Amino acid sequence: MHIQRLNLLNFRNYSSQTVDLSPGLNIFVGDNAQGKTNLLEAIYVLSLSKSYRTSRETELIKHGELQTAIQAKVRKMAVLDLEAVISQNGPKKLLVNAKQTSASSFMGQLNVVLFTPDSLQLVKGSPSDRRRFLDIQICQIDSVYRSTLLKYQRVLRQRNSLLKDAYHNRSLLNQLPAWDSQLLNLGTRVILRRAQVLADLQRYAQEAHGEISQRRETLEIVYEPFFGRLEPGWSGETIREAFIGELQEKRREELQRGYSLVGPQRDDVVFLINGQELKLYGSQGQQRTAVLAYVLAELQLMHAETGELPVVLLDDVLSELDQSRRSFLLSILNNKAQTIVTTTNLGYFPTDLLAEITTFEIKAGTIV
């Protein structure tokens, strides 16, 4: 899939901007603070229905304005019109072909893979960062997972508040078994789906990583549920059994602490290079390489699951890669997925490549 045309109205530092994109590589060059990341953020909002930079959506509205609209014409099997409208006063509107729709059915229309300097948090950050990366990936390709995850989060909140209130009012505990069984059923499905997707991602990532490291290093990415490693031959049933065991074992401590200690909100993803944990022992370069391999794996997984290549958004990442990784990335992307790259310096791109493709300049919220 690719974006043919993008329209921004009062989005961050853009007033009114239309840009026609090529289905291949698009390079946006500009100095700092001109609107490069803002442009990628706008595209991301059309994909995931919300920003990755802020949870306060009114920040997206240009200062002094009441409303912002982002709109794109997306080409897949058919041409699709996507629009997000965010207002100072009034709820957000998401539209597909001019018809208003829920966030859940808006998501998955335009798929993106995002790679920014912050993507390094996938390795260096907290378990919650890693769960977020994985959930974003699965939510884009699986509407059943989107609704299961939402339901799980609701059940978890309610179970937490019950555990908190039960601290002072023990009679409430007779409601706990009902919440336990929902936590168990939904939580098992969340873990199972995450583990399945991660197993696929790891296969693709291992392949890409082997190529980048010229087979000198092996990358492993392991899903680690809150109850410990998954044994070989894991299934929904073994996950469920382990979950039940933890529910029993942690019961007393949960009552003492007043919140849930079991469930996929405590899961993690572990990255290993040649068997060593990357977060603890990896060099910066090794960590970057692993993240690059993971991003490429996301691209392949989306392609395999949806039959369409996602749009790749690269925010200023070439400056952080060395020459060989940079050319590897560009060679993979060139002539495949639509790729939108921002940079402060065109010098990172080979001149023969620059001769073939469209480059845009961004200056103070205007694309020229």
Ligand X SMILES: Nc1ncnc2c1ncn2[C@@H]1O[C@H](COP(=O)(O)OP(=O)(O)OP(=O)(O)O)[C@@H](O)[C@H]1O
55 makes contact with ligand X (CB under 6 A): no
Q: Does residue 10 sit in helix, strand or coil?
A: coil
**Residue with Cβ nearer Mg ion (36 or 62):** 36
13 makes contact with Mg ion (CB under 5 A): no
Q: Which of 63, 168, 215, 216 binds ligand X (CB under 6 A)?
A: 63
Conformational region of residue 265, where left means phi above 0, alpha means psi within -120 to 50, and beta covers everything else: alpha
**Residue with Cβ nearer Mg ion (30 or 282):** 30
* Residue 319 beta carbon to ligand X: minimum distance, rounded to whole angstroms: 10
* Residue 368 beta carbon to ligand X: minimum distance, rounded to whole angstroms: 14
- Per CB under 5 A, the segment of 8-16, 29-37, 163-171, 203-211 that binds Mg ion is 29-37
276: which strand partners?
273
Q: Which of 9, 25, 27, 36 binds ligand X (CB under 6 A)?
A: 36
Q: Which residues lie closer than 8 Å to 106 by C-beta, 6 or more apart?
A: 49, 82, 84, 94, 96
59 makes contact with ligand X (CB under 6 A): yes
- Per CB under 6 A, the segment of 16-24, 60-68, 134-142, 291-299 that binds ligand X is 60-68
- Per CB under 6 A, the segment of 32-40, 98-106, 228-236, 331-339 that binds ligand X is 32-40
User: Is the CB of residue 239 less than 8 Å from the CB of residue 247?
Assistant: no
36, 64, 39, 35: which is closest to 51 by C-alpha? Answer: 39
Q: Which of 17, 26, 38, 300 binds ligand X (CB under 6 A)?
A: 38
DSSP category for residue 58: G
34 makes contact with ligand X (CB under 6 A): yes
233, 156, 235: which is closest to 193 by C-alpha? Answer: 235
Q: Which of 6, 30, 148, 311 binds ligand X (CB under 6 A)?
A: 30
Cβ-count burial 202-221 (b if 16+ within 10 Å, e if not): bebbbebbeebbeeebebbb
37 makes contact with Mg ion (CB under 5 A): yes
**Binding-site size, Mg ion (CB under 5 A):** 2
User: Is the CB of residue 273 less than 8 Å from the CB of residue 218?
Assistant: yes
* Residue 134 beta carbon to Mg ion: minimum distance, rounded to whole angstroms: 24
287, 243, 237, 282: which is closest to 261 by C-alpha? Answer: 243
Give the residue nearest to Mg ion (CB).
37
Q: Does residue 234 sit in helix, strand or coil?
A: coil
Q: Which residues bind ligand X (CB under 6 A)?
A: 12-13, 30, 32-38, 59, 61-63, 316, 344
